Chains A and B, each alone.
Chain A
């Protein structure tokens, strides 16, 4: 193209810029791919074209909805003449004038050119949209590959792009912290360097206004209405130009199959400023900047979700490991004893549970059985359970009596845990003569089913562990005989609920134990667990379910 014909575009702020008609087909429309794109709803996506044919420029309407006009005449295709006014759709905010180049007509008076010098050059407008497209591509790639770019990299890039687009001197990105206060996340200068320091002078009133209204705020020197509203700090800083754009998180709501957008949360701001007169921003530049801010918000949101996802994965991984560790702590196989059978199982309601059990062979040939339940849930409950289990083993290895073991264990737990948590624990020791001595520290009484069908509840009404350092524990002794069964359980068994919110209950468990007492320890355990599962019909339970069954053989 040897011609230098141009379009003179004047936006609603009175800002003018020139666009050279430097291609055979120059497209105009609402799509960003157009050579001139105007974000006005009344303009179609591909609204019109200016084509160069036979040495002249023709404006061609592309079957737009709202029509194209030249000097107020609606046209389909018409030859443009110097200083023709082009109007697209009903939009009167943007004025477009055809300025014929000298080589095409030579009609243009020389003075005309001088008045057209623009505060924002064509090159600038082009670099702004290029910048945005580059960034959008980067963000797409970044999201698609969940690349190793840190959120900081992306945020820096966004601020750099904003500086580039506005020709500002510096730019900031601030995000709300957990307390809802804005914090500087990125501070950059024009040379793409990070600014040192944690706080920077800026117009707080402009920031406040952008946050409050969730709208972009532009302050240009000499623009009385805006700088007045911007308040003191903008003046004090002697800043000439500020653009502040809120970053919003859009929440979608799905209802009746339709998705609607809820009121956006303002999560931060993008802020650029300059002490120099860089010229006012054209509407197009602001729109570009707002698109940039929207990209930033989207990016932040996806980074946030990615982060949450990673945290969740990490937590799940840790929980899986904790589950393994905990499962390994609970003995699955017991050394088979000649005077009794043992079977136990714990079904945690979450990945890790607060229930624990143990079977400890004592040096003198007796066997200790422990079943405990830590109050509360989660990892901290599981840790306390592990500590209590280890503590019990350690105490028994010192050869103390069962009452002393439990008294010491209580003191240990009081010291080591915050007083919020406590442990209910049943501990019994059986010898081959059938002496069963036990301490019940606030635990659901185990059921002793005699071979003749009688049931006894093993309670000493002693205090829970870990609550009071003054608690003293005393043991009780009972005699058991061949055929007797002892069922120790956590309250997750009796408090298991079904869909009608009924509890499994003590009575149901007692009836079941009486009925199954003649079976082996393993069968007693399995029948009870089966019955509980049948009762709940797979309804997720709020508590761990733990059982330990002992069948006396001699």
Chain B
């Protein structure tokens, strides 16, 4: 899992590259997000365009990050989900909680 962190205004965009699955992938994402939250970067946009596989542990990590950001008064939103990832979020009911976007401009504008 590679994570490129960039800022767009007061929003921090995380471009994830690699599988967001049990073990290294989800752990690394959580570490990076915890670090960003600790530095006061609380508006987070996860770009999943280059995440081919998302499993339940990856979803767990997204939930945990979402919850932590929310506690810190921040927001975590998702960008560019694959069809399977969207299906998984739909089954798990998470589409009703997580905001999901298909283009970056409207995602950034929504914060």
- Give the distance in Å from the alpha carbon of A97 to the alpha carbon of B67 in the complex: 84
Q: Which residues of A contact B57 (CB under 8 A)?
A: 375-377, 420
> Are A463's CB and B60's CB within 8 A?
no
- Give the distance in Å from the alpha carbon of A443 to the alpha carbon of B90 in the complex: 10
> Are A463's CB and B94's CB within 8 A?
yes
Interface residues of A in 441-460 (CB under 8 A from B): 441-445, 459
In the complex, what's the smallest C-beta–C-beta distance from B78 to chain A, in angstroms?
15
> Are A463's CB and B67's CB within 8 A?
no
Q: Which residue of A is nearest B56, CB measured?
A: A375
- Give the distance in Å from the alpha carbon of A461 to the alpha carbon of B68 in the complex: 24
- Give the distance in Å from the alpha carbon of A222 to the alpha carbon of B28 in the complex: 55
Known contacts A376-B22, A377-B22, A467-B67, A420 near B60 by CB under 8 Å: yes
Q: Which residues of B contact A184 (CB under 8 A)?
A: none
In the complex, what's the smallest C-beta–C-beta distance from B90 to chain A, in angstroms?
7
In the complex, what's the smallest C-beta–C-beta distance from B91 to chain A, in angstroms?
6
In the complex, what's the smallest C-beta–C-beta distance from A269 to chain B, in angstroms?
34
Q: Which residues of B contact A491 (CB under 8 A)?
A: 56
- Residue from A373, A442, A471 having most chain B Cβ neighbours under 10 A: A442
Q: Is chain A's binding surface mostly helix, strand, loop or mixed?
A: loop
Q: Does B96 lie at the interface of the complex (its beta carbon under 8 Å from any beta carbon of A)?
A: yes
- Residue from B59, B67, B92 having most chain A Cβ neighbours under 10 A: B92
Q: Does B13 lie at the interface of the complex (its beta carbon under 8 Å from any beta carbon of A)?
A: no
- Give the distance in Å from the alpha carbon of A72 to the alpha carbon of B97 in the complex: 94
> Are A375's CB and B97's CB within 8 A?
no
Q: Which residues of B contact A462 (CB under 8 A)?
A: 93
- Chain A interface residue bracket vs B: 20 to 34
Number of B interface residues at 8 Å Cβ cutoff, please give it.
19
Known contacts A376-B22, A419-B67, A464 near B94 by CB under 8 Å: yes
Known contacts A376-B22, A376-B56, A463 near B64 by CB under 8 Å: no
Q: Does B63 lie at the interface of the complex (its beta carbon under 8 Å from any beta carbon of A)?
A: yes
Binary interface profile of A, 465-484, with partner B (CB < 8 Å = 1, else 0)?
A: 00110010000000000000
Q: Does A267 lie at the interface of the complex (its beta carbon under 8 Å from any beta carbon of B)?
A: no
- Give the distance in Å from the alpha carbon of A444 to the alpha carbon of B63 in the complex: 18
Interface residues of B in 41-78 (CB under 8 A from A): 56-57, 59-61, 63-64, 67-68
Q: Which residue of A is nearest B68, CB measured?
A: A419
Q: Does A514 lie at the interface of the complex (its beta carbon under 8 Å from any beta carbon of B)?
A: no
> Are A463's CB and B97's CB within 8 A?
yes
Q: Does A57 lie at the interface of the complex (its beta carbon under 8 Å from any beta carbon of B)?
A: no
- The interface of chain B, by Cβ under 8 A from chain A, is 22, 30, 56-57, 59-61, 63-64, 67-68, 90-97
11 A-B residue pairings within 8 Å (CB atoms): A375-B57, A418-B64, A419-B63, A420-B61, A422-B63, A424-B91, A424-B92, A463-B93, A463-B94, A464-B94, A467-B97
Q: A424-B91, A463-B92, A464-B92 are in contact. List 4 more A-B contacts (CB 8 A).
A: A420-B60, A420-B64, A442-B94, A462-B93
